[in-house]
Structure 1
Amino acid sequence: MIRKHNTIINDVLGDYSLTLVDCLDTFVVFNDRKGFEKAVRDVIKYVSFDQDNKVQVFEVNIRALGALVCKRLLPAFQKSKTGIPYARVNLKYGVPINETHETCTAAAGTLIIEFGVLSRLTNDTRFEDAAKKALFGLWNRRTDLNLLGNVINVQTGQWIHTASSTGAGIDSFYEYLLKAYVLFGETEYLDMFNEAYNSVLRYVKDETGYLYRNVNMMNGGLMSNWVDSLSAYFPGLQVLAGDLDNAIKSHLLYYNIWKKYNAMPERFNFHLRNVELATYPLRPEFIESTYFLYRATRDPFYLQVGEMVLKDLEYYARVNCGFASIKDVLTKSLDERMESFLLSETFKYLYLLFDTENKINSMDDNFIFTTEAHLIFLPQKYLKKHSEIRPSMSGAERSFCSIYEKPSPSKHLFTTSVITSRSDADFARELVGFEERTLPLLDPKGICEVPKSDPQVIEVSFGGLQESHEDDLIYQGQEQQQQIIKYVDGLIANRLKGLKLELTKRVDKKGYDVTKGM
């Protein structure tokens, strides 16, 4: 079915055989030499980027970058006063006259790897220079909390949407800071990642250690009650950063969401413990994190997670001509669409999870998987000369405390898992409201650990009316008072003004003490 006016589909696909291009290195991972050779011949024969189509700069970069197409993306940077690129360009004519000035942090900050490698391979610095200017254009506009927002104006540099998170709209920004350091070996990217990650741990992660929320970039206040499926990549990034303890905890949250619905809904409301957006286009992020955690721990639990995912995809998404996106995880109804990332990422990570002897799993080099799971290697001759002195450790690095211990040898080693025997393993299950008892019960004596968290700061208003906006949860008048909503073990304060109070949770968890008034 051809839907010419469906922008959501067309500005990703671009009419240049996207799935073919996106899945080239999947043949390599599967060791399918004949399939790879045929695919390359088909690219040479059929693929052309000389198209009168408007496409997303971010999507074309991560799925189909090359010297030819990259030159067609450069106008997105050149037309911007800040150097932060427009979100879309026309492959033939450049930036459309009426194109929006809005772009998200992930779209503008997820270019440095592909553009940087292309510049070094072609000896054309334009690509890396443009991507680096965009990256620093975002970073230099961070708040005093070292947080970035979700949407920015490329011409004025003003933040339009101030939610900071690890999910949609900002996710791969963090990913490319760390992976740029791994690939290029330049410590400025590591410094930026350490600052950004430390702020994520302080302001975005909640006190349970399982949830990474949407917070206001200005003050760290909670802005919504949901997590999205894209943020399920973050445990994998935490593995790459060496933070196994936090990676294991955050992965358990998404594991229990999947167990509850046999899929990963686009949004899950952790306050209501229910689905907020029910679609699942067979995204790879949860599988990606499962793969990295298995490579780091070798715990058989993660193989069992992969088996669970594979069986659910076969049962609920398999159709005669492939796999269909799930339109509703509650009803399991399907959509008439299969995204290219299913073959490029989801199945690639599943394959590598189980193919433990795959050559890729034994490589020890500065290679990385891009955010589209493309393998990129960069030989030493392409690296820039830079100081070998390692930067001083930041607060984020000092906070790393891996608790993982491998199972003791046993003839039943495959079924032995440290993850499922953790005394806090079922806490994530309670967070998502999953009733099935597949994990051991909590130790009745609890965990001998006093949680450490920053004070909760709220503002309380006295009288006066406020103007409300369509999407804001603001209650007015005497009949509908402003609310402080309790969630898990925290508080939500919605748009309250007047007296600012600092509330610190009591050790016995029975209420809060006012520790400061401002």
Structure 2
Amino acid sequence: MSLRSHEQLVASVGLLFLITVCITAFFFLPSSGADDYLYHQAKHAIPIRDADVREEIRRREQVELKRKVEEANINPPPIPKPEIGAGDDTHSRQIFVKQMIKFAWDGYKNYAWGENELRPITKRGHSASIFGYGKTGATIVDALDTLYIAGLKEEYQDARKWIDESLDFKKVAKGEVSVFETNIRFVGGLLSAYALTKDKMFLKKAEEIATTLLPAFNTPTGIPLALVDVESGNAKNYAWAAGGCSILSEFGSLQLEFDYLSNLTGNTVFAEKATKVRKVLTSLEKPDGLYPIYLNPKSGKWGQRDFSLGAMADSFYEYLLKQWISTGKKDNSTKREYDEAIAAMERKMLFVSPENKLTYFANLRGNRVEHKMEHLACFAGGMFALQSINEVDETAKSHYLDLGERLAETCHESYARATTGIGPEAFRFNSGSEAKTDAKPERYYILRPEVVETWFYLWRITKKEKYRDWAWDHVQNLEKYCKVGVGYSGIKDVYESTVQHDDVQQSFLFAELFKYLYLIFSEDSVLPLDQWVFNTEAHPFLIRND
């Protein structure tokens, strides 16, 4: 055999050996293929430099972890809790609130899109009577500015698209809608979105919806009725409201939105309607300087002598102050009426409890004092704090900031004394029991924001850390007691540790509670109080500087 033939034989034998080795290895590799082989070798032995292999390892570990969790029948929380105490606590808490917003929004989008609200347990739509019976997407409009402020860009774009393509109020609104709620949620939400983005579509929609409310003002006095049928234009008051009266908080909480809308569009009809209401109220004599909660829109006379800083009155006083602020503090007549009303309430309705020295505003039923403060009235701590930073007189500044802080403390006590750490709809001051309630109809919580609203203003103004701490406590209690199914629900009894849910995720959860919680953990440069004023649904409008 020649040398060349010998070399060829050696080469052939070597090639045959390599082929045999490869074939054998193929049969002994894991059955799922070469990728599995690379995964196992890389995970246990080989230094990992290849990015694709690293990604494959990460993906497979996630799949394996998910498999083990499912086999163990464990449901991992959809929102990972940040490590509080590691790094910047405030930033971590803000991120957590943002995740809460997204979780609640995803539940609404997946199970109730276009409906007014979500039932998070039964995973279907819900609509309160204030929205009539049409699918007007109240949650979408109410959540819009919060999504934008929190930087949830994809969610905001989904909301914007639905509003642009589907929110034709004359077509989707059915039955009788609340003039007040439609104004503060829909008109207010759309005006706020315009103020933040300058997207003219929002302004156009706001004007269209406000126009559908105008028939409610067709009364002898110009005081609007409570309900309007968008399809027919017929309007009426609630049958239960003191013989057909209009309600102070409702007809008295239109001016911010209507003035702002007229200023932006040049259509003066809205401002004119709101101004007429103000003129009627200015002309009326107030018993003991107080505003009763009922007014007859035909006769222009007060109804029964009931007075409150809570339900059916609350936002009227808020709008007197904020209307003055929104005009660059030029509407001095409104500020004067606010000052006179607050002074009268301090004389007649402000009390300090004997046992714990808690400050509270009681209700008056004629001459009878009802020593009860409502959750709704807890907004007032924030109102007085806001007033304090807009006063020139140092005595007034100090007085109203102190009053705001004392009310914040009282409302916090109503939370601290509940088993869930969440305050009830109303709480009383009786012998041996303060800032609590024994009345079953007052023990519920429907995701109301007023207490957190006050803590937000006081954090911004005082920088006392306790207000952020109280807000974070509420976040944790919301997670523990209100987070259920695919969203957040109200609870029926705040004094029971095993809670029953009402299965309603209110639209104002997004507009108010989530927004205030997010802003508490934000920098002051996000919606600064010297540039923005919030309507009673927490939708921010720019303060006029003209």
Match of 1:210 among 325, 343, 359: 359
1: CA distance between counterparts of 2:212 and 2:428? Answer: 40
Equivalent residue letter for 2:292: G
CA contact (8 A) 2:237 2:245 kept: no
Instruction: Select 1:330's aligned residue among 488, 495, 498.
Output: 495
CA contact (8 A) 1:61 1:111 kept: yes
State whether structure 2 residue 207 is matched by structure 1 residue 67: yes
Partner SS, residue 272 of structure 2: helix
* Structure 2 match to 1:360: 526
Distance 1:167 1:98 in 2: 20
Provide the rounded CA distance (Å) in 1 between the counterparts of 2:235 and 2:183: 19
Distance 1:321 1:123 in 2: 43
Deviations 1:176-231 (A, max 9, x none): 001001111321221111111111211111255701011257xxx34323111100
Shift of 1:292: 0.5
Give the superposition deviation at 1:59: 0.3
Q: Please state if 1:238 is matched with 2:384.
A: yes
Q: Per-residue deviation at 1:158?
A: 2.7
Equivalent-residue separation in structure 2 for 1:163 and 1:142 (angstroms): 15
Equivalent pair of 2:314/2:376 in contact (CA under 8 Å): yes
8 Å Cα contact 1:182/1:366 also seen in 2? no
Match of 1:341 in 2: 508
Could you tell me how far apart the structure 2 residues matched to 1:60 and 1:257 are?
A: 30
- Alignment pair present for 1:288 and 2:459: no
Q: Is the 8 A contact 2:293 2:312 kept in 1?
A: yes
Shift of 1:36: 1.8
Aligned-partner SS, 2:228: strand
* Distance change in 2, residues 1:44/1:71 (3 Å): same
- 5 Å-filtered alignment, 1:380-459, equals 380=545, 383=546
**CA distance in 1: counterparts of 2:238 and 2:249, whole angstroms:** 18
Corresponding residue number in structure 1 for 2:426: 267
Confirm or deny that 1:183 pairs with 2:316. no
Displacement after TM superposition at 1:169 (Å): 0.6
**1-structure distance, mates of 2:385, 2:480:** 30
Deviations 1:20-42 (A, max 9, x none): 01111001220223322221111
Cα RMSD for the two superposed structures: 2.3
Q: Distance in 2 between matches of 1:97 and 1:349?
A: 34
* 2:413 corresponds to 1:256: yes
2:257 maps to 1:91: no
Mapped pair 1:48 → 2:48: no
Instruction: Report the CA distance between 1:154 and its aligned residue.
Output: 1.5
Correspondence for 1:25? 145
Q: Identify if the C-alpha distance between structure 1 residues 294 and 153 changes in structure 2 by more than 3 Å, giving closer, same or farther.
A: same
Distance 1:308 1:165, change over 3 A: same
1:133 aligns with 2:314: no
Picking from 143, 154, 159, the partner of 2:286 is 143
Q: 1:95 to 1:352 in 2, by over 3 A?
A: same
Q: Please give the alpha-carbon distance, in whole angstroms, between the structure 2 residues aligned to 1:322 and 1:358.
A: 29
In 1, distance between residues paired with 2:409 and 2:236? 46
For structure 1, the 5+ residue unaligned runs are: 384-518
Q: Partners of 2:444 and 2:413 in 1: how far apart?
A: 17
The counterpart of 1:198, out of the listed 343, 346, 349, is 343
For 1:351, give the aligned amino acid. Answer: Y
Superposition deviation, residue 131 in structure 1: 1.3
Tell me by how many angstroms 1:97 deviates.
Answer: 6.7
* Residue in structure 1 matching 2:295, options 152, 163, 169: 152
Q: CA deviation at 1:287?
A: 0.3
- Which structure has the higher relative contact order (CA within 8 Å, separation 6+)? 2
Counterpart Cα distance in 1 of 2:529 and 2:181: 29
For residues 98 and 200 of structure 1, the distance between their equivalents in structure 2, rounded to whole angstroms, comes to 27
AA aligned to 2:245 is E
> Aligned equivalents of 1:255 and 1:45: distance in 2?
43
For 2:501, give the aligned amino acid: L
Counterpart residue type for residue 145 of structure 2:
D
Q: 1:106 to 1:287 in 2, by over 3 A?
A: same
CA contact (8 A) 1:178 1:193 kept: yes
Question: How far 1:144 moved relative to its partner?
Answer: 4.4
Supply the AA of the counterpart residue of 1:213.
A
Work out whether residues 225 and 236 of structure 2, in 8 Å CA contact, stay in contact via their aligned partners in 1: no
- C-alpha displacement of 1:8: 8.6
Q: Which has the larger radius of gyration?
A: 2
Report the 3-state secondary structure (helix = DSSP H, G, I; strand = E; otherwise coil) of the residue aligned with 1:327: coil
Structure 1 residue 358, shift from structure 2 partner: 5.7
Task: Please state whether the residue corresponding to 1:44 is helix, strand or coil.
Answer: helix
Q: What residue in structure 2 maps to residue 474 of structure 1?
A: none
> Who is 1:387 aligned against?
none
* Inter-partner Cα distance in structure 1 for 2:174 and 2:214: 16
Counterparts of 1:98 and 1:193, CA distance in 2? 26
User: What is the percentage of aligned positions where both structures have the same residue?
Assistant: 30
Distance across 2 between alignment mates of 1:98 and 1:252: 37
Distance 1:62 1:69 in 2: 11
- Out of 86, 97, 103, the residue aligned to residue 246 of structure 2 is 103
Instruction: Provide the secondary structure at the position in 1 that maps to 2:430.
Output: coil
Q: Distance in 1 between matches of 2:543 and 2:452?
A: 26
Distance in 2 separating the partners of 1:168 and 1:37: 35
Q: Which residue of 2 aligns with 1:36?
A: 156
> Does 2:155 match 1:12?
no
Q: Deviations over 1:392-451 (max 9, x none)?
A: xxxxxxxxxxxxxxxxxxxxxxxxxxxxxxxxxxxxxxxxxxxxxxxxxxxxxxxxxxxx
Residues 226, 237 of structure 2: 8 Å contact kept: no
Paired residues, number:
373
Give the counterpart letter for 1:72 in structure 2: T
**Conserved 8 A contact 1:87-1:102:** no
Give the secondary structure class of the aligned counterpart of 1:227: strand
Does the Cα contact within 8 Å between 1:61 and 1:114 map onto a contact in 2? yes
The reply to whether residue 321 of structure 1 matches residue 505 of structure 2 is no
Q: Using the TM superposition, give the Cα deviation of residue 134 of structure 1 relative to its aligned residue in structure 2, in angstroms.
A: 1.5
1:117 corresponds in structure 2 to: 260
Change (3 A) 1:157 1:229: same
CA distance in 2, matches of 1:368, 1:296: 15
Unaligned runs of 5+ in 2: 1-111, 117-125, 188-205, 389-399
Structure 2 partner of 1:278 = 443
